[in-house]
Amino acid sequence: MAKLLAYPLSILYFIFFGLSLLVFHPIQWFCLNVFGYQAHKKSVDILNWFLVRSTHFLGTRYSFRNSHSIPTDKPIIIVSNHQSMNDIPPIIWFMRKHHAKFISKKELGKGIPSVSYNLRHGGSVLIDRKDPVQSINAIKQIAGYIETHNRAVV
Q: Which domain holds residue 107?
A: 2-61+74-153
Is residue 31, in this structure, part of any structural domain at all?
Answer: yes
pLDDT tens for residues 80-133? 887 678 889 999 999 999 999 999 999 999 999 999 999 999 999 999 999 999
Domain count, the chain: 1
Strand 152-153 to strand 103-105: parallel, antiparallel, or no bridges (unpaired)? unpaired
Flag whether 68 is in a domain. Answer: no
The dihedral sign for the CA sequence 19, 49, 71, 28: positive
Position 100 in a domain: yes
- The answer to whether residue 50 is domain-embedded is yes
In a domain, 32, yes or no: yes
Classify residue 94: in a domain, yes or no. Answer: yes
User: What is the pLDDT, as a whole number, of residue 55?
Assistant: 94
Q: What is the pLDDT of residue 4?
A: 87
Cβ-based neighbours of 109, under 8 Å, separated by 6 or more: 116, 119, 120, 126
pTM: 0.91
Does 99 fall in a domain? yes
The H or E element that residue 20 is part of is: helix 2-30
